[in-house]
Amino acid sequence: MTETKSYRKPDYEIDEMFINRWSPRSFLDKEIPEEVLLTVFEAARWAPSAYNEQPWRFIIAKTKEERERFYPFISEFNLSWCKKAPVLVLILSKTTRNGEFLQSHSFDAGAAWAHLALQANKCGLITHPMTGFDFDRARETLEIPEDYAIEALVAIGYQGEKEALSEKLQEREQPNGRRPIKESLFTGKFGNELK
């Protein structure tokens, strides 16, 4: 498997779990035990959220029939590699609280996704999130109510060898880096660089 340290160097010392998590596309055709899969969602459950609203919801496709229901709304490119993943998960967020718009619904669902991804990595699994799919078709196919936003689709499973991918995808099958931290930080107001 890929040694992430040769691709990723943090600017400041952080726990290795943040560096080791990346989004491979090569999956083994291997089922995830129920206990392990539920552990991943248990971690997501404990994410922080505004008002403790916990707006995240997950539609899980783990049987062949369930996954095949997802395939028609996934882009051809993503389908070319994610068909081997034993679990597909559509992440949703409830957009309202007590009948009013919940401003933080996506932010909170993102926190749950981060918890899920890090726990999956600790369990020896890989995750690959994607937005390359037809959101409207997903909503219709899976009968998602209008007061739920569709956030992302995630493939979960065990990492396979990169040689199992097409030649073009093999070239991309490595952890990518990040821009320097100071390029993401402003001080006092937007545009003021941190010195």
Mean pLDDT, residues 83-92: 98
Alpha carbon 118 to chain centroid, angstroms: 10
Percent of the chain past pLDDT 90, that is, above it, reads: 92
Nearest CA-CA partner of 82 in 30, 32, 37, 128: 128
Over residues 9-40, the pLDDT tens digits come to 888 999 999 999 999 999 999 999 999 999 99
Nearest CA-CA partner of 89 in 170, 12, 153: 153
pLDDT band of residue 194 (cuts 50, 70, 90) is confident
List of E strands, the chain: 56-61, 87-94, 96-97, 100-101, 126-130, 148-157
Q: What is the pTM of this model?
A: 0.94
Range of the domain at 104: 15-165
Asked, for residue 188, whether it belongs to a domain, the answer is no
Asked, for residue 3, whether it belongs to a domain, the answer is no
What is the full DSSP assignment across 82-96? HTT-SEEEEEEEE-E
CB burial readout 111-127, b (16+ within 10 A) else e = bbbebbbbbbbebebbb
* pLDDT given at position 1: 56
pLDDT band of residue 2 (cuts 50, 70, 90) is low
Please give the tally of structural domains in the chain.
1
* pLDDT given at position 186: 94
Asked, for residue 192, whether it belongs to a domain, the answer is no
Asked, for residue 1, whether it belongs to a domain, the answer is no
Mean pLDDT, residues 91-106: 97
Mean pLDDT, residues 58-73: 98
* pLDDT given at position 159: 97
Asked, for residue 66, whether it belongs to a domain, the answer is yes
Asked, for residue 37, whether it belongs to a domain, the answer is yes
Asked, for residue 144, whether it belongs to a domain, the answer is yes
The CATH number covering residue 87 comes to 3.40.109.10
Asked, for residue 120, whether it belongs to a domain, the answer is yes
